[in-house]
Amino acid sequence: MTSASLPRLSSVCVYCGSSHGTDPSYEAAATRLGQILAEEDLRLVYGGGSVGLMGVVAQATLDAGGSVTGIIPHFLEKREVMLKSLDDLVVTKDMHQRKQQMFQRSDGFIALPGGIGTLEEAVEMMTWAQLGQHKKPIVLANINGFWSPLLELLDHMRSQGFIRPESEVPYLVAKRLDDAVPLLRAALEGQDLTGDSPPNLAAIEDL
């Protein structure tokens, strides 16, 4: 594959909570990520709400002059307070259609801190990649160690033989928020990010 044929990062799907969380660093990270996406001329694709970290990352992107696509199911328009000021707002019939649209419109994924929905979305993308359904990179933004329990669980699954070398779960880990987008770019450019990690696993804490 030549460099001219490599996929280009133009849009990033961000998974994050509809709450702010208890640690102020989570909101700071969401704000900074929105600014980075705008500075890098990357379109934000997210869940379409105006509450919690979702609203923070979207508003920060807009405030910095960036582009945002919000995708929200009809039944969550009021609960997640749909951000009506978006230039590109998609209302879907259900969660399945929402997640499919977010996947199709994105070149890579970043998971900020969040709840069970954020976890489910990130793990689903990891599962699809493990099963060979896509090669889009997935970054866990491990703000203040938020995703460390999940990483420990994945290591436990490996040690117990449920994640085998021939079917590794592909993901990247950014300890610093500013590393998240560079990790996505590096993965799309085909750089080897495995380091000392298990085969085919990209788990990087410092770029």
pTM greater than 0.95: no
Residue 198 has pLDDT above 50, yes or no: no
The count of residues in the chain is: 207
**Burial category of 197 from C-beta neighbours within 10 Å (exposed 0-12, middle 13-18, buried 19 and up):** middle
Tokens matching residue 85: 């000021």
pLDDT band at 81 (very low <50, low <70, confident <90, very high): low
Spatial distance between the Cα atoms of 121 and 103, rounded to a whole number of angstroms: 10
Query: Which of residues 109 and 75 earns the better pLDDT score?
Result: 109
Instruction: Judge whether 47 and 90 are in contact, CB under 8 Å.
Output: no
Spatial distance between the Cα atoms of 53 and 182, rounded to a whole number of angstroms: 21
Q: Convert the pLDDT of each residue in 34-48 to its tens digit.
A: 999 999 999 999 999
Provide the pLDDT for residue 6: 61
Q: Which CATH number fits domain 8-188: 2.60.260.20, 3.40.50.450, 3.30.479.30, 3.30.930.10?
A: 3.40.50.450
Spatial distance between the Cα atoms of 40 and 153, rounded to a whole number of angstroms: 33
Spatial distance between the Cα atoms of 27 and 13, rounded to a whole number of angstroms: 17
Closest CA to 127 of 84, 93, 81, 171: 171
Instruction: Judge whether 57 and 88 are in contact, CB under 8 Å.
Output: no
Q: Convert the pLDDT of each residue in 117-133 to its tens digit.
A: 999 999 999 999 999 99
Pairing type for strands 108-111 and 88-92 reads unpaired
Provide the pLDDT for residue 194: 55
Residue 151 has pLDDT above 50, yes or no: yes
Provide the pLDDT for residue 192: 67
Query: Which of residues 74 and 114 earns the better pLDDT score?
Result: 114
DSSP state of 156: H
Residues 7-25 have a mean pLDDT of 95
Closest CA to 143 of 14, 49, 55: 14
What is each CA distance from 98 to 49, 152, 164, 199, in whole angstroms?
Answer: 12, 29, 31, 32
Instruction: Judge whether 111 and 121 are in contact, CB under 8 Å.
Output: yes
pLDDT band at 87 (very low <50, low <70, confident <90, very high): confident
